[in-house]
């Protein structure tokens, strides 16, 4: 039923565009295959940041970047029209909007990617996007900045003698923690912490507790582990801009370094 509604919206949108073009003499907002730069729309600021590293320019998003938990955003008619007018739509699959959109929107090329901030995932998933967009060279250059920032931070942590710190980490932040050289001893989240996890935090001798700003649940663990430094990281950029994901990891790293 929902797919029929979406198809109706797309047909109505196409008809409105055609009528407006005939009346004004302007061309369709849908880009033609001959245009060099594709129009890329992403579900959230996180998938948009992957598209940016892949080499896309001027990426637009559906969920506003200032939401605390963007995947919960509900898609609107105007959002569907925006997607329909794009060449590519980048999404992760866990967004609530995908229950409405399904796996196809008109003739738009849908690119599904995995989302976490590990070097391995960012490398593989941005390459997937770049192959579709034909932006492999841009991807290589932008990815290098991201990878170098993490590797330089890892080296600094080693110089400070902190790489052996015992880390208790939110499940959605364990990837960056591992790339920084830490061995994550235990994880928590995304649901609320359990009594057993609180007991473990109290007796486990953890040096660092890393929480997630988008669904923070680690404060009870920090309360019973006063010797552990408590830092909160993000995954979703709060702005859609060039090098957005690089800035996310730089800010996460800066918060960690300040706490150590």
| pLDDT tops 70 at residue 2 | no
Q: Are 235 and 71 in contact (CB under 8 A)?
A: no
Superfamily classification of domain 2-141: Nitrogenase molybdenum iron protein domain (3.40.50.1980)
- DSSP string across 118-178: -HHHHHHHHHHHHHHHT-HHHHHHHHHHHHHHHHHHHHHHHHTT-TT--EEEEGGGHHHHH
Kindly indicate the confidence band of residue 224, based on its pLDDT and cuts at 50, 70 and 90: very high
Overall fold of domain 159-259 = Rossmann fold (3.40.50)
Taking residues 223-232, report their average pLDDT. Answer: 97
- Distances from the Cα of 119 to the Cαs of 18, 33, 68, 162, 243, in angstroms? 44, 32, 24, 21, 15
pLDDT at 37: 84
| pLDDT tops 50 at residue 176 | yes
pLDDT mean across residues, the chain: 90
Kindly indicate the confidence band of residue 35, based on its pLDDT and cuts at 50, 70 and 90: low
pLDDT at 63: 98
Full-model pTM: 0.87
| pLDDT tops 50 at residue 16 | no
Q: Are 146 and 249 in contact (CB under 8 A)?
A: yes
Q: How far apart are the C-alpha atoms of 98 and 91, rounded to whole Å? A: 8
Other CB atoms within 10 A of residue 89 CB = 25
pLDDT at 119: 99
Strands of the sheet with 40-42, listed across from one edge: 60-61, 40-42, 88-91, 109-112
Are both 2-141 and 159-259 of the same fold?
Answer: yes
| pLDDT tops 80 at residue 155 | yes
Chain centroid offset of residue 30 CA? 26
pLDDT at 104: 82
Q: What percent of the chain has pLDDT over 70?
A: 86
pLDDT at 260: 93
| pLDDT tops 70 at residue 34 | no
The structural domains of the chain, with segments of one domain joined by +, span 2-141, 159-259
pLDDT at 103: 83
pLDDT at 17: 40
Q: How far apart are the C-alpha atoms of 51 and 260, rounded to whole Å? A: 33
């Amino acid at each position: 039923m929902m797919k029929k509604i979406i198809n109706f919206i797309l047909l109505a949108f196409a008809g409105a565009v055609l009528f407006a073009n005939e009346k004004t003499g302007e061309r369709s907002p849908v880009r033609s295959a001959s245009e060099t730069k594709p129009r890329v729309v992403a579900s959230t600021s996180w998938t948009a940041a992957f598209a940016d590293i892949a080499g896309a320019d001027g990426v637009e998003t559906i969920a506003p970047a200032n939401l605390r938990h963007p995947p919960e955003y509900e898609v609107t008619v105007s959002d569907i029209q925006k997607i329909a007018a794009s060449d590519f739509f980048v999404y992760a699959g866990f967004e609530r909007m995908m229950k409405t959109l399904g796996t196809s929107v008109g003739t738009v090329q849908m690119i599904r990617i995995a989302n976490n901030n590990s070097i391995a995932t960012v490398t593989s998933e941005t390459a997937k996007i770049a192959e579709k967009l034909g932006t492999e060279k841009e991807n290589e250059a932008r990815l290098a900045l991201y990878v170098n920032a993490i590797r330089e931070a890892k080296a600094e942590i080693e110089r400070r003698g902190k790489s052996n710190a015992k880390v208790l980490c939110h499940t959605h932040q364990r990837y960056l923690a591992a790339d920084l050289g830490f061995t994550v001893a235990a994880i928590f989240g995304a649901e609320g912490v359990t009594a057993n996890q609180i007991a473990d935090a109290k007796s486990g001798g953890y040096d660092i507790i890393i929480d997630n700003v988008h669904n923070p649940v680690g404060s009870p663990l920090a309360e019973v582990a006063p010797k552990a430094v408590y830092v909160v990281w993000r995954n979703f950029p709060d702005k859609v801009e060039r090098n957005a994901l690089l800035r996310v990891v730089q800010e996460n790293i800066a918060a960690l370094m300040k706490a150590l």
